[in-house]
Amino acid sequence: MNINAMRARQSRPSVARVYSYVLGGRDNYGVDKNVGDYFMSDLAGSEQLAITNREAVLRAVHGMATDGITQFIDMGCGLPATENVHDVARRVHPDAKVVYVDNDPFVVAHGRALLAVDDDVDAIEGDVGKTAWIREHPAVERIIDFDRPVGLLFAVTLSFLEDDEDPAGVVKFWTDQVPSGSQVYISHFRTGGTREAKATERKILEAFGRGRWRTDTEIRAFYGDLEILDPGIVPCAQWRPQPGEGEHTLSDWEQMIVAGLARKP
């Protein structure tokens, strides 16, 4: 990467790097810390958007693996964390396979260094909206067997696709590619009328230039004809919580991000 490209990257906050910073990660720049600090101080409590989302996606991976799924595609994976998709899946299936996808070359470089632990785990650079390109990528072709059930993960990813980028079409493309028994996990920002919701949406749009809050009906439509599994589409904090978790009254922040898991019949 040339010096100008590096300077351009350091001058703009990244969704993945800010998300990682809020979760305690260290791979970020000053501009990312500034945005993350704003969320954690000026909008104190909004870090629960990132925290409860991450906890829910890892529970979803465990649930999929427990249901017998051994291969996963993580769309918009973000930076490596303390626990990652392959770590969770391999506690159930030691031979689980994972392809991580992100459009940030910084993320992919770190992913290849830290996540590609063997030939059955890889990270590729790709825009989630370029579905056919990802599907035909050599790493996807090599690692994923599309004749067997696949776990598809869209953790907040669709929240950063505008309506004209057809997020529903992205999900449908992938559900058409995978066989019966495959599962699809989606988490998404949910429209809210509170001061906190409006301030969070405004800051995300200002920082990243995109970000879409959607209604329950709009989020439900992403699943098409898939069978939505229990407990339905609910706030991430209440999506299959561990014993003793998710029983408190949810904050406005926690109600802003919802999740659901569905199975292809």
Residues 198 and 247: beta-carbon distance below 8 Å: no
Q: In this predicted structure, what is the pLDDT of residue 13? A: 76
183-216 tens-digit pLDDT: 999 999 998 778 887 888 888 888 888 888 999 9
What is the residue whose two structure tokens read 């405004």? 202
Q: What is the DSSP letter of 262?
A: E
The total of other beta-carbon atoms located within 10 Å of residue 56's CB is: 27
Rg (CA), the chain: 17
Give long-range contacts, CB 8 A cutoff, 24+ apart: 134-140: 134/101, 135/173, 135/177, 139/99, 140/73, 140/99
Percent of the chain with pLDDT over 70: 93
Residues 53 and 260: beta-carbon distance below 8 Å: no
Q: Name which residue leads in pLDDT, 101 or 2.
A: 101
Q: In this predicted structure, what is the pLDDT of residue 246? A: 59
236-251 tens-digit pLDDT: 999 999 877 656 788 8
- Average pLDDT of the residues in 81-92: 94
Residues 178 and 152: beta-carbon distance below 8 Å: yes
How is domain 3-263 classified at the CATH fold level? Rossmann fold (3.40.50)
Residues 75 and 64: beta-carbon distance below 8 Å: no
Q: Cis before residue 231, ω within 30 degrees of 0?
A: yes
Domain chopping of the chain, boundaries = 3-263
For residue 38, pLDDT beyond 70? yes
Look at the chain and count its residues.
265
Segment holding 155, helix H or strand E: strand 151-155
Residues 238 and 53: beta-carbon distance below 8 Å: no
pLDDT band at 82 (very low <50, low <70, confident <90, very high): confident
Amino acid at 194: T
Residues 190 and 255: beta-carbon distance below 8 Å: yes
Which of 9-13, 36-40, 90-94, 191-195 shows the lowest mean pLDDT across its residues? 9-13
- Average pLDDT of the residues in 144-172: 96
